[in-house]
Amino acid sequence: MTAPLLARSRRRAELSLGLLVVAVTGGGYILVALSEGPALPPDLYAFLAGIFALYLVAHLAVRRFAPNADATILPIVALLNGIGFVIIARLGPVKAEYAEQARVQALWVAIAIAVFVLTLVIVRDVRVFERYRYTALLAGVVLILLPIAPGIGRTVNGARLWIAIGPMSFQPSEIAKVLLAAFIAAYLVDKRELLTYGRTRIAGMFVPSPRDLGPLLLAWGIALVVLGYQRDMGTAILFFGMFVAMLYMATSRAAYLVGGLVLLAIGAWIAYKSFGHVRVRVENWIDPWKDPNDAGFQPIQGWFSLGSGGVAGTGLGLGNPGLVPKASTDYVFTAIGEELGLVGSLGVVAAFMLLVGSMFRAAVDAVHPFSKVFAAGLATIVGLQAFLIVGGVLRIIPLTGITLPFVSYGGSSLVANFALVAIVLRISDEAATARAAP
């Protein structure tokens, strides 16, 4: 198929799927309003026009600047974002702390779409990150450590992850994860042969030298710094998991996975013995009933919320998800499970699986080695972040307290993840254009 035909086919599919997403989001908003009384919401048409306009802007940007990109990534992102917004809007009447979140989230969605478009406009070739790899590394490390700085660093819910300048606050680690993924991808492309086959002979075998293993040890050290000074277990695991996964994907050596798991176990043991907040999270994971009225209250309420949803859910607006602390952020998945049930929860998980799978497909199809590794790293970020929060809520792993991508309330994560998606679409467009060229 020629490039023009491919572009028209993919963009038509993307627009059709987008219209379906608008209908699903609008239908959810109507159901939430009808749960309060037999009347449609007064701002229904403005709401539908708003979400359609935002999706249309994003679609037109892809049509103009990445016409051959994958047709499923943007609609899936829009679906997850729409489900999250409906849940946040539903929580508004429950508690005062949620009352303004839907309005603020709508503003952040608009900003995220603007950043998405700007990323497509500015990043015409993702290999610019490869050329400025050390600049990306320096910027990423500075952003990670910025919340520690006195004066602008802020501690929220026990974790020092935020910076505040005037009335605006932001979580810089969300941007740092993209920059560090770019650096490690560029490094791995350069050192791939040395990391795969090694240049130091030990007991008759060639293994990578300590100099070549520097990125893995650096990732481990950064993870411990983040965990120790910022008191954030989720971000530390996310960074380290991303680095180890990218190292394995670039070299295909299972030894790196084993080494990464060993380092993770050592780091977890050190963190458990050294940091009280880590110890509390692990003990709550093992047995929250030891302190059901304080430390264990949130996970216990989350399980009750998921259990009351059953298979089909209570229905939008008919449950009590507000009884769970932080139902719009850390525990938004329990609100989905209660009101949409097992079916809705599996739907959200399936949407994440399709999204990550589409991003990995873009990585496999990419022409340039850097683009392959970079796209795979970005896909790993989204997949691992979703696993950490869903797994924590379901008690598969200790709760880490990070946001569910595109779904949870919060502007920092939303903006960074939309920029991440724009980069993957750019890589997908480059690959499809190269394949369609004569």
| Mean per-residue pLDDT, 307-314 | 90
162 or 293: whose pLDDT is higher? 293
Query: If residue 160 lies in a helix (H) or strand (E), which one and from where to where?
Result: strand 159-165
Long-range CB contact pairs, 43-50, < 8 A, 24+: 48/22, 50/106
Q: Which residue segment(s) compose the domain that 12 sits in?
A: 3-436
- Which is more confidently placed, 295 or 136? 136
pLDDT above 60 for 375: yes
Report residue 334 as tokens. 């329990």
pLDDT tens by residue, 159-218: 667 777 766 677 888 888 899 899 989 988 887 776 766 666 555 555 566 666 666 567
pLDDT at 354: 96
Q: Are 406 and 351 in contact (CB under 8 A)?
A: no
**What is the Cα Rg of the chain in Å?**
22
Give the model confidence (pLDDT) of 315-349 as tens digits. 888 888 888 888 888 899 999 999 999 999 999 99
Q: Specify the DSSP element, H or E, that contains 165.
A: strand 159-165
In this predicted structure, what is the pLDDT of residue 224?
62
The answer to whether the beta carbons of residues 68 and 6 sit under 8 Å apart is yes
What span, in angstroms and rounded, lies between the C-alpha atoms of 333 and 327? 8
Lookup result for tokens 């791995």: 188
Tally of domains in the chain: 1
Which residues make Cβ contacts (< 8 Å) with residue 356, sequence separation at least 6? 379, 382, 383, 386
Give the span between the Cα atoms of 318 and 316, in whole angstroms. 6
pLDDT at 94 over 60: yes
- What's the pLDDT band for 412 if we cut at 50, 70, 90? confident
User: 384-423: b or e for each residue (b if 16 or more CB lie within 10 Å)?
Assistant: bbbbbbbbbbbeebbbbbbbbbbbbbbbbbbbbbbbbbbb
pTM for the model:
0.91
